[in-house]
Structure 1
Amino acid sequence: MASSDWIEVQRLAAEFQRAQLSSALQKLSERNCIEIVSKLIELKLIDVFYTNDGKEYVTLDQLSREICDELYLHGGRISLTELVPILNISYHAIESRAQDISQTKPEIHLVSGQLIDDDHLDRIAEEINETLQQSGQITVVELTKQYELPIDFILQQLRSRLGTIIQGQQDKYDQHVFFTDGFLARNRARIRGALSAITVPTSVLSIITQNKLPERLFFAVVEELINTKRIHASLSGGRQANVATFIPDIYSRSQNEWIDNFLKQNGYLEYAALNRLGLSDPKSYCRKRFKETPLLYLSSCCVGSNILEQIEAAIEEALASKSWVEILPLLPSVFDEEDAEQIIQNVLKNSQSLPEKDAIVIGHSSVTSNAFIQNLKPIFNIMIEEKAKEAVASGAYLQAQAGQRNAKGKAFKPEQSNEKKDKKEERRKKANEGKVGGGVQGRETKTRSTKKKYLKGKNDSDEEGEEEFAGSSSGNSELEFMSLDEISNVLRKQESVTDAPDELVEDIAARLYKPLQSSFQEAARIAFEALLSSTSGQRRQTHGELQERVQVLLQSIKQGEKAIEHFSSLDTQQQLSRHLLKTSGSELVNELVSYVSQDTNVANDSKDLSFEARQKIIKGLPQNLRTPLQGLHKATQGANVEEFLTETESALSACDIVLRKVDKKKDKAVASQQRHVLIDQLNAATDYALILHVAALLLFHTVTQTVLNASGRFVPQIITFLHSHLPDSMSELLSTFQGLVIQELTSKGDEELLESVRQKMESLVPQVREAAVTFKKSSTTALHE
Structure 2
Amino acid sequence: MASTDWIEVQRLAAEFQRAQLSSSLQKLSERNCIEIVSKLVELKLIDVFYTNDGKEYITLEQLSREICDELYLHGGRISLTELVPILNVSYHAIELRAQNISQSKPEIHLVSGQLIDDDHLDRITEEINENLQQSGQITVVELTKQYELPMEFILQQIRNRLGTIIQGQQDKHDHHFFFTEGFLARNRARIRGALSAITVPTAVSAIIAENKLPERLFFAVADELISSKRIQASVNGGRQANLATFIPDVHSRSQNEWIDNFLKQNGYLEYAALTRLGLGDPKSFCRKRFKESTLLYLSSCCVGSNILQQIEAAVEEALVSQSWVGVLPLLPSIFDEEDAGQIVQHVLKNSRSLADKDALVIGESAVTSNAFVRNLKLIFRPIIEQKASEVVASGDYLQALADQRTAKEKSFKPDQNNDKKDRKEKRRKKANEGKLGGGTQGRETKTKATKKKYQKGKNDSDDDDDGEFAGGSSGASSDLEFMSLNEISHVLRKQESLVDAPDDFLEDIAGRLYPSLQSSFQESARLAFEAVLSATSGQRRQTHSELQERVQLLLQNIKQGQNAIQFFASLDDQQQLTRHLLKTNGSELANELVSYVSEDTSVANNAKDMSPEARQKIINGLSQNMRVALQGLHKAIQGTSIEELLLEVDGALAACDVVIRKVDKTKEKAIMTQQRHLLIEQLHAAEDAALVLHVAVLLLFHTVTQTVLSASGRFVPQIITFLKPHLPPSIAELLSELQGLVIQELKCKGDEELLKDVRQKMETLVPQVRETAMTYKKSISTARD
TM-score, structure 1 normalization: 0.71
Structure possessing the higher radius of gyration over alpha carbons:
2
Secondary structure at the residue paired with 2:242? Answer: coil
What is the deviation of 1:508?
3.9
1:475-521 deviation line (CA, Å, top 9, x unaligned): 725232x3333333334334333344444444444444444444444
Match in the other structure for 1:56? 55
Please give the alpha-carbon distance, in whole angstroms, between the structure 1 residues aligned to 2:651 and 2:59: 108
- Asked whether 1:423 is paired with 2:419, we answer yes
Please give the alpha-carbon distance, in whole angstroms, between the structure 1 residues aligned to 2:153 and 2:561: 110
Higher deviation after alignment, 246-255 or 318-327? 318-327
Please give the alpha-carbon distance, in whole angstroms, between the structure 1 residues aligned to 2:643 and 2:26: 125
Please give the alpha-carbon distance, in whole angstroms, between the structure 2 residues aligned to 1:273 and 1:214: 33
CA contact (8 A) 1:476 1:521 kept: yes
What is the deviation of 1:537?
3.7
1:606-650 deviation line (CA, Å, top 9, x unaligned): 855666666677778899988887787678778899998998888
Instruction: Map 1:170-209 onto structure 2 (within 5 A).
Output: 170-209=170-209
- Asked whether 1:153 is paired with 2:149, we answer no
Match in the other structure for 2:283? 283
What is the deviation of 1:192?
1.9
CA contact (8 A) 2:51 2:57 kept: yes
Higher deviation after alignment, 548-557 or 324-333? 548-557
Instruction: Map 1:389-408 onto structure 2 (within 5 A).
Output: 389-393=389-393, 395=394, 398-400=395-397, 402-403=399-400, 406-407=403-404
CA contact (8 A) 1:403 1:622 kept: no
What is the deviation of 1:233?
1.9
Secondary structure at the residue paired with 2:89? Answer: coil
CA contact (8 A) 1:267 1:307 kept: yes
Please give the alpha-carbon distance, in whole angstroms, between the structure 1 residues aligned to 2:122 and 2:569: 123
CA contact (8 A) 2:392 2:398 kept: no
Give the 3 Å change call, closer, same or farther, for CA 350–50 of structure 1 in structure 2. closer
Please give the alpha-carbon distance, in whole angstroms, between the structure 2 residues aligned to 1:270 and 1:421: 76
Amino acid at match of 1:479: E
Match in the other structure for 2:67? 67
Match in the other structure for 2:484? 483
Please give the alpha-carbon distance, in whole angstroms, between the structure 1 residues aligned to 2:167 and 2:601: 104
Please give the alpha-carbon distance, in whole angstroms, between the structure 1 residues aligned to 2:654 and 2:125: 110
What is the deviation of 1:248?
1.9
- Asked whether 1:110 is paired with 2:110, we answer yes
CA contact (8 A) 1:401 1:476 kept: no
What is the deviation of 1:381?
4.0
Please give the alpha-carbon distance, in whole angstroms, between the structure 2 residues aligned to 1:513 and 1:778: 78
Please give the alpha-carbon distance, in whole angstroms, between the structure 1 residues aligned to 2:621 and 2:56: 104
What is the deviation of 1:594?
5.6
Secondary structure at the residue paired with 2:230? Answer: coil
CA contact (8 A) 1:60 1:97 kept: no
TM-score, structure 2 normalization: 0.71
CA contact (8 A) 1:101 1:108 kept: yes
Please give the alpha-carbon distance, in whole angstroms, between the structure 2 residues aligned to 1:18 and 1:669: 164
What is the deviation of 1:197?
1.7
CA contact (8 A) 1:431 1:642 kept: no
Match in the other structure for 1:168? 168
Amino acid at match of 2:422: E
Identity of aligned residues (%): 64
Give the 3 Å change call, closer, same or farther, for CA 151–386 of structure 1 in structure 2. same
1:515-537 deviation line (CA, Å, top 9, x unaligned): 44444444433433333333334
What is the deviation of 1:224?
2.2
Amino acid at match of 1:427: R
Please give the alpha-carbon distance, in whole angstroms, between the structure 1 residues aligned to 2:565 and 2:28: 124
Aligned length: 736
CA contact (8 A) 1:236 1:246 kept: yes
CA contact (8 A) 2:402 2:621 kept: no
CA contact (8 A) 2:49 2:59 kept: yes
Please give the alpha-carbon distance, in whole angstroms, between the structure 1 residues aligned to 2:186 and 2:434: 120
Higher deviation after alignment, 131-140 or 433-442? 433-442
Match in the other structure for 1:496? 497
Please give the alpha-carbon distance, in whole angstroms, between the structure 2 residues aligned to 1:435 and 1:575: 26
What is the deviation of 1:583?
7.2
Please give the alpha-carbon distance, in whole angstroms, between the structure 2 residues aligned to 1:603 and 1:233: 97
Amino acid at match of 2:474: G
Instruction: Map 1:194-593 onto structure 2 (within 5 A).
Output: 194-354=194-354, 357-393=357-393, 395=394, 398-400=395-397, 402-403=399-400, 406-407=403-404, 410=407, 417-418=413-414, 423-430=419-426, 433=429, 435-436=431-432, 442=443, 446=450, 461-462=464-465, 464-465=467-468, 467-472=470-475, 476=478, 478-480=480-482, 482-542=483-543
Secondary structure at the residue paired with 1:110? Answer: strand
Instruction: Map 1:535-684 onto structure 2 (within 5 A).
Output: 535-542=536-543, 599=600, 608=609, 656=656, 658=658, 660=660
Give the 3 Å change call, closer, same or farther, for CA 630–185 of structure 1 in structure 2. farther
What is the deviation of 1:584?
7.0
Instruction: Map 1:81-96 onto structure 2 (within 5 A).
Output: 81-96=81-96
Amino acid at match of 1:529: E
Please give the alpha-carbon distance, in whole angstroms, between the structure 2 residues aligned to 1:368 and 1:327: 11
1:713-762 deviation line (CA, Å, top 9, x unaligned): 9x99x9xxx9xxx99xxxxx9xxx9xx99xx99xx99x9xxxxxxxxxxx
Match in the other structure for 1:762? none
1:289-348 deviation line (CA, Å, top 9, x unaligned): 333333333333333333333333333444444444444444333333333333333334
Amino acid at match of 1:291: K
Please give the alpha-carbon distance, in whole angstroms, between the structure 2 residues aligned to 1:285 and 1:100: 61
Higher deviation after alignment, 219-228 or 640-649? 640-649
Give the 3 Å change call, closer, same or farther, for CA 776–583 of structure 1 in structure 2. farther
1:569-609 deviation line (CA, Å, top 9, x unaligned): 99999999999877777666655666666729799978556
What is the deviation of 1:56?
1.1
Amino acid at match of 1:58: Y
Unaligned runs of 5+ in 1: 1-10, 728-732, 752-765, 781-785
Please give the alpha-carbon distance, in whole angstroms, between the structure 2 residues aligned to 1:79 and 1:669: 135
Instruction: Map 1:684-699 onto structure 2 (within 5 A).
Output: none
Secondary structure at the residue paired with 2:478? Answer: coil
What is the deviation of 1:195?
1.7
CA contact (8 A) 2:51 2:58 kept: no
CA contact (8 A) 2:596 2:604 kept: no
CA contact (8 A) 1:392 1:527 kept: yes
Please give the alpha-carbon distance, in whole angstroms, between the structure 2 residues aligned to 1:105 and 1:565: 133
Amino acid at match of 1:528: F
Give the 3 Å change call, closer, same or farther, for CA 386–80 of structure 1 in structure 2. same
CA contact (8 A) 1:602 1:621 kept: no
1:629-681 deviation line (CA, Å, top 9, x unaligned): 77876787788999989988887777x45464887989998998999899999
Secondary structure at the residue paired with 1:231? Answer: coil
Match in the other structure for 2:764? none
Amino acid at match of 1:399: D
Give the 3 Å change call, closer, same or farther, for CA 496–223 of structure 1 in structure 2. same
Give the 3 Å change call, closer, same or farther, for CA 638–147 of structure 1 in structure 2. farther
What is the deviation of 1:88?
3.5
CA contact (8 A) 1:202 1:245 kept: yes
Amino acid at match of 2:529: F
Give the 3 Å change call, closer, same or farther, for CA 501–679 of structure 1 in structure 2. closer
Please give the alpha-carbon distance, in whole angstroms, between the structure 1 residues aligned to 2:779 and 2:41: 136
What is the deviation of 1:51?
3.4
